[in-house]
Amino acid sequence: MLIQGSLVALVTPMTPEGAVDWDAYERLIEWHIASGTDGIVTMGTTGESPTLDIAEHNEVVAFTVKKVAGRVPVIAGTGGNSTAEAIELTQHARDVGADVSLQVVPYYNKPTQEGLYQHFKAIAEAVNMPMWLYNVPGRTVADLKNETVLRLAQIPNIVGLKDATGDIARAIDLLRRLPEVVGDKEFAVYSGNDDSALALMLVGGTGVISVTANLMPREMHEMASAAVAGNVAVARAINNRLMPLHQKLFCEPNPVAPKWALYRMGRIGSGIRLPLTPLSEANRPVVEKAMREAGVEF
């Protein structure tokens, strides 16, 4: 199953006390489906997965699958820096009906390329479900090199990559070399950066896993659809409008700014879990300005 377009890296709404706000979360899911979002990514970085315990993590994934009810694909973040824990999370996601698991490069413990290969291979062999790799060296320190991706792409159920390096030349090199390795197998490459997503899609990427889509789901869907179809003028025009959000939603560590922006829009409460703190007073005008420039209603 090839999933194209704009996949929202969905925030996890929380009460001021830090509990998951299930009513707000369900409203976000319905809004995204109505707005044309092509897939929902739950329990990624934007969903504050590092601060949820395993039981909470599993509950959010199960809730998402149940409420989406097959209307769009659900991609569950189930990675970790413990291979055994990643397998446990992935098995649960499969059991409750998630469509894809998203596996972040192990963070902090800095495995070698061979260690990364063995980590992802072990998960893929333990749980029979489609898996996407997620390379975000700015957060994990470890960097999944193209040569390792090409090795992993030969494993049957590893079928995609979320590339958050922002390096378009590197992505072009990977896209050029993939057919030699995978043959007729579909292997999708998604941008993990909103600001370089258009460029990646125009050189052969399949879509974007988007933070900006939290605020502008329809516009991100329209931009990604145009880009994947090769309609450059339309995609560029929408992307130019959204660029202030692509840039300013990362003025503080994600998801601080997008959660505050959604709170400002009246869509979620103000809750966020330590060690993250609410958007600073100094950056609120910065984010508001970007929202106005992009045409966000609030």
Catalytic residues: 134, 162
Q: Residue 123's CB: how many other CB atoms inside 10 A?
A: 26
Q: Which residues of 230-247 are buried (b: 16+ CB within 10 A; e: fewer)?
A: eeeeebeebbeebbbbbe
Half-sphere exposure of 244 (CA within 13 A, CB side): 14
Q: Residue 297's CB: how many other CB atoms inside 10 A?
A: 8
298 vs 287: CA distance, rounded Å: 12
287 vs 264: CA distance, rounded Å: 10
Q: Residue 117's CB: how many other CB atoms inside 10 A?
A: 18
Element (H, E) at 148: helix 146-152
Local structure of 173: helix, strand or coil: helix
Q: Are strands 5-9 and 39-42 parallel, antiparallel or unpaired?
A: parallel
Local structure of 137: helix, strand or coil: helix
Local structure of 41: helix, strand or coil: strand
For residue 49 the two structure tokens come to: 């997965």
